[in-house]
Amino acid sequence: MTQISPSAAHWGAFNAVVRDGKLSETRPFAGDPAPPPLLGAMPAAVHSPLRIDRPYVRKGWLNGDRQGGTPRGAEPFVPLSWDAATRLVAGEVARVRDTNGPASLFGGSYGWSSAGRFHHARSQLHRLLASAGGYTAQLTNYSYATGMTLLPHIVGTNDILDGPMVEWPDICANAKLMLCFGGITLRNGQVNSGGGGRHEMRLWLQRAADAGVKLVNISPVRGDMPDFAGARWLPIRPGTDTALMLALAHVILDEGLEDRDFLAEHTTGHERLRAYVLGETDGVAKTPSWAAEITGLSADVIAAVAREAAGCPTMLTAAWSLQRAERGEQPYWMLVALAALLGGIGKPGTGFSFGMGSENGMGTPRTKVPSVTLPALPNPANSFIPVARITDMLEQPGGAYQYNGRNLHYPDTKLIWWAGGNPFHHHQDLNRLLRAWAKPETIIVSESWWTSPARHADIVLPATTTVERNDIGSSSADRFILAMHQAIAPVGQARNEFDYMADIAEALGVRERYTQQRDENAWLRAMYGRAQQIYAPLGVDLPDFDAFWAAGHVEIPRPAKGNVPFTAFRTGTAKLNTPTGRIELYSERIAGFGYDDCPGHPVWFAPQEYLGSPTAARFPLHLLSVQPSTRLHGQLDPVGPSAASKVQGREPLSIGPADAAARGIAEGDIVRVFNDRGACLAGARITGGLLPGVVLLATGAWFDPEHPGQPGSLCVHGNPNVLTRDEGTSRLGQGPVAQSCLVQIERFAGVAPPVKVSAPPPIEAAA
Ligand SMILES: Nc1nc2c(c(=O)[nH]1)N[C@H]1C(S)=C(S)[C@@H](COP(=O)(O)OP(=O)(O)OC[C@H]3O[C@@H](n4cnc5c(=O)[nH]c(N)nc54)[C@H](O)[C@@H]3O)O[C@H]1N2
Ligand SMILES: Nc1nc2c(c(=O)[nH]1)N[C@H]1C(S)=C(S)[C@@H](COP(=O)(O)OP(=O)(O)OC[C@H]3O[C@@H](n4cnc5c(=O)[nH]c(N)nc54)[C@H](O)[C@@H]3O)O[C@H]1N2
Ligand SMILES: [Mo]
């Protein structure tokens, strides 16, 4: 018998086709102009032998090892019943809370979880731990932590970072030139958190090109803009965009091309920035020839682009990747400054945005409504860390650090519980993380698959996947609210987070607080009802729940009138939410923090690791760990397009012909990629369109240490985070710096150790 029902994933809405009780096919959402190929990988993922079939406990932990006596990741697991697992987990949560206080429970649990907003594992875990007394949370995200912390100081909002932002129809109609730092990478438009009904990045880029907007791809990678866009390619060295922007500003100021009225009326601090750009403050004029040395671009090209931008309506955008780098605050602040000099801010289709090529939905016209969400509960522990400071936290309990003007201390972590995220995917310098991971007494991981965190846990709880439960998919980046009907029964003994957490809450005596006496159906109705109430005053009327559920989705109409960011500010009817009410090209507040790694106006810092740094003598290749085209982070890695892309079972690494030839590397060879922090294997793909000296290894290959549990061993599969640096962008943003990473590469001679993560870890029968 065949059944078809609506569902959704971060990689798009779809119809689940079920035959004989199994997910057999996913049919893309009707009307989606570019459904991602990732959808096709779902049946194999849902029914994969890598599904966790029941709860497990690490053998050594069961025998009383609490202080990482045996390294996590090296020992077999022993099966547990759900009853026993429920008691163990509740017992540990209560013990740690009562002995060490709730802040020693680390429940940050960063990660993308599911598109379904009710069975969103991380949100459910937060509700459970908040009900039980509190936990240490994580603030901001890996995507754009630095931009998120910086932008409120200088433009008073984060909207311009993740929407609503400058809209594509306005760009098509008004911009003549669009400078895209980091390109517009269609690969990244396949996904958005919460799922999307329509994938429009290709469509809008095509329309912009057809409308005659001259597109410029400022990136080390030509493929960051598709061929059809006819873009000019400025192959910049990674990590040097701020220098380029400063030089563009130099030409504009030197030749008097700046919009003086805009600067005078709408900005503060432009004189100080000007003095720095012209070299009056530090004796270094940020001229095109100065920037040419740093960026690898020619001075003539830089000067010509500056004049062109000053001579026509120009739109600026920068990928989120630019701020996931050492001193990632600087390119973002300088992009705002450049847009201010050009004076197009607040006019339709010009000015600046971020991430227009980073995720589906950016710049697509839509009514500004929040997504349907599961309400959070207040966290009584009132404890948090900036998201990417996890290893620092584990290494230095009680240690002092600074963040965005605050003096803070790390909590003393005794228990970690991760549900819906993969720190062995997302975090940098995994060997350091692995060492620090030995410190807590207990680590609980809720997962659907045997991912690296599950393998490095003490207690493993098997979760259902999206198609095994009813839910609502929703994203503030998309105009559709998506009904997600349960399509199949839970696989193995997997349970919904909500159900097993309710049992754990019961054991902790807080069931009612956690469930609010609602079941799945009552929660979906309550969440939807809340959205109806919030949307109505914003002019969006939603049908009743039953009509929505039966139809499978609701489409929120495209607004009649587009949104132009900063118009009210430009016309003088509104001030910005900054200390001066203006765009701050110099920020007294940031200067007042006294951070030499993020002073009062944008500056050029030469990164410790880039192609111009002394480290490049030993590690001469800049590794960009970009988003994968074949999966979402670590999700769907063992199946579908991702599995098909592997080279001798290893993650493909793109390397230019000259860099490969210089190392005797041929297409399809296994290579060893290494630096002082670690090493991994990968499969060479010789690729054109790369700036020489730049190599690409996408994130997401499941971490597979040759010797499990031993920090420093070779990752045989190709996870770039064994190579990346773990350090905050600055004391202001404390964001991750994954893109600042130099490596060396050699042909791997000999027999490569086997990939082990393609099978479940060793399991022993219960004693
Ligand atoms: N080197 C480098 N590192 C990076 C980046 C980079 O550019 N370079 N990018 C960073 C960025 S921007 C991000 S956002 C992060 C992403 O990092 P993560 O979001 O942590 O990566 P995912 O693989 O999406 O992890 C989500 C996990 O949740 C699990 N999951 C899904 N549904 C459920 C569920 O219902 N229940 C439970 N219990 N689990 C579920 C999935 O199986 C998956 O393992 O990575 C960051 N890391
Ligand atoms: N298919 C797919 N799409 C995704 C994701 C996924 O896992 N898979 N992840 C999603 C998530 S969570 C996020 S946050 C977004 C991230 O979106 P982004 O941050 O935009 O993604 P990246 O792929 O890291 O970077 C985009 C491009 O920036 C270029 N780049 C890197 N460093 C530099 C630099 O220093 N200067 C310049 N000029 N260019 C540089 C790289 O060539 C890269 O192709 O992607 C989302 N989209
Ligand atoms: Mo992200």
Ligand nearest to the CA of 724: 1
The pLDDT tens digits of the residues spanning 334-385 come to: 999 999 999 999 999 999 999 999 999 999 999 989 999 999 999 999 999 9
- CB 687 less than 6 A from any atom of ligand 2: no
pLDDT band (50, 70, 90) for residue 1:
confident
Residue 747 has pLDDT above 80, yes or no: yes
Distance 628 CA to ligand 2 centre (A): 9
Across 87-91, average pLDDT: 98
* 636-658 core/surface letters (b: 16 or more CB in 10 A; e: else): bbbbbbbbebbbebbbbbbbbee
Cβ of residue 421 lying under 6 Å from some atom of ligand 2: no
Cross-strand partners of 353: 317
Which of 426, 520, 743 has most ligand 1 atoms within 8 Å of its beta carbon, as the pocket-test mutant?
426
The rounded distance, in Å, linking the Cα atoms of 334 and 286 is 13
**pLDDT, tens digit (0-9, with 9 covering 90-100), for 463-516:** 999 999 999 999 999 999 999 999 999 999 999 999 999 999 999 999 999 999
Distance CA 130, CA 117 (A): 18
Q: Is the CB of 628 under 6 A from ligand 2?
A: yes
| Nearest partner of 120 among 421, 385, 354, judged by Cα | 421
Do residues 351 and 315 touch, judged by C-beta distance below 8 A?
Answer: yes
Nearest CA residue ID for atom 14, ligand 2: 143
Residue identified by tokens 């311009």 is: 160
Q: CA–CA distance from 660 to each of 618, 664, 688, 746 (Å)?
A: 17, 6, 11, 9
- Looking at the CA of 632, which ligand is closest? 2
What does the block give as tokens for 530? 């809340």
pLDDT score at 299: 98
Tell me the best of 128, 187, 323, 425 to mutate to test the pocket of ligand 1, counting ligand atoms within 8 Å of each CB and taking the most.
Answer: 425
Atom of ligand 2 nearest to the CA of 629: 1
| Ligand 1: nearest atom to the Cα of 461 | 38
Q: Tell me which H or E stretch contains 160.
A: helix 159-162
Cα of 697 from ligand 2 centre, angstroms: 12
Architecture of domain 165-367+568-593: 3-Layer(aba) Sandwich (3.40)
Residue whose tokens read 């091309």: 257
**Preceding amide of 164 cis, omega within 30:** yes
* Whole-number pLDDT of residue 68: 57
The answer, yes or no, to whether residue 639 has pLDDT greater than 60, is: yes
Whose alpha carbon is nearest atom 9 of ligand 2?
Answer: 627
Chain-centre distance for alpha carbon 71? 29
CATH class of residue range 614-747: mainly beta
Whole-number Å distance, alpha carbon 304 to ligand 2 midpoint, is: 27
d(CA 657, CA 178): 30
Contact 660, 686 (CB under 8 A): yes
Counting atoms of ligand 2 from 1, which one is nearest the CA of 240?
35
- Among 295, 358, 632, which is best to mutate for testing ligand 2, by the most ligand atoms less than 8 A from CB? 358
Whole-number Å distance between alpha carbons of 639 and 449: 12
Angle between helices 329-342 and 241-254 in degrees, nearest 10: 20
Nearest ligand 2 atom to the CA of 630 is 1
Q: In the prediction, which pLDDT does 25 show?
A: 98
Ligand 1 centroid to 427 CA: how many Å? Answer: 10
**CATH architecture type of domain 2-141+379-477+486-517:** 3-Layer(aba) Sandwich (3.40)
Cβ(258)–Cβ(252) below 8 Å: yes
Q: Is the dihedral of CA 444, 446, 449, 452 positive or negative?
A: negative
Q: Cα–Cα distance between 711 and 436 in angstroms, integer?
A: 10
Rounded distance between C-alpha atoms, residue 228 and residue 606, angstroms: 35
Note the pTM of the prediction, 2 decimals: 0.98
Residue with tokens 């002995």: 99
Regarding the beta carbon of 110 and ligand 2, being less than 6 Å apart is answered: no
Q: What is the pLDDT of residues 651-700, one digit of tens each?
A: 999 999 999 999 999 999 999 999 999 999 999 999 999 999 999 999 99
Coil, strand or helix: which one is 483?
A: strand
The residue from 61, 110, 320, 535 that is catalytic is 110
Backbone phi, psi, residue 674, to 5°: -150, 160
Contact in structure between 61 and 458 (CB atoms under 8 Å):
yes
pLDDT of residue 767: 60
Residues facing residue 417 across a β-bridge = 444
Q: Which residues line ligand 1 (CB under 6 A)?
A: 111-114, 119, 121, 142-143, 324, 419-422, 425-426, 446-449, 451, 463, 497, 625, 632-635, 699, 720-721, 724, 738
Residue with tokens 């009326």: 265
Q: Find the mean pLDDT for residues 58-84.
A: 87
What letters, b where the CB count within 10 A reaches 16 and e where it falls short, cover 495-515? bbbbbbbbbbbebbebbebbb
Annotated catalytic residue within 112, 204, 410, 523? 112
Measured from the CB, is residue 111 less than 6 Å from ligand 2? Answer: no
For atom 45 of ligand 1, the residue with the nearest CA is 426
The verdict on the CB of residue 239 being under 6 Å from ligand 2 is: yes
Q: Is the CB of 193 under 6 A from ligand 2?
A: no
Cα(112) to centroid of ligand 1, in Å? 5
**Is 110 assigned a catalytic role?**
yes
pLDDT digits (tens, 9 = 90+) for 271-323: 999 999 999 999 999 999 999 999 999 999 999 999 999 999 999 999 999 99
What confidence score (pLDDT) does residue 439 get? 94
Among 335, 627, 631, name the best residue to mutate to test ligand 2's pocket (greatest count of ligand atoms within 8 A of Cβ). Answer: 627
Domain boundaries, the chain: 2-141+379-477+486-517, 165-367+568-593, 614-747
Does residue 124 contact residue 376 with C-beta atoms inside 8 Å? no
pLDDT at 734 over 90: yes
> In the beta sheet, which residues pair with residue 415?
105, 442
Across the chain, how many H-helices and E-strands are there? 26, 29
Is 549 labeled as catalytic in the residue annotation? no
Percent of the chain predicted with pLDDT > 90: 97
**Is the distance from the beta carbon of residue 185 to the nearest atom of ligand 2 less than 6 Å?**
yes
**Ligand number, closest to the Cα atom of 326:** 2
Indicate the top mutation candidate among 448, 491, 499 to test ligand 1's pocket, ranked by most ligand atoms within 8 A of CB. Answer: 448
Per-residue pLDDT at 70 exceeds 70: no
Mean confidence (pLDDT) of the chain: 97
Q: What is the pLDDT of residue 368?
A: 87
Residue among 567, 162, 534 at smallest CA distance from 348? 567
Nearest CA to ligand 1 atom 13: 142
Q: What is the atom index within ligand 2 of the atom nearest the CA of 625?
A: 24
At 63 the pLDDT is 87
Measure 738 CA to ligand 3 centroid, in angstroms: 12
- Atom in ligand 2 nearest the alpha carbon of residue 694: 42
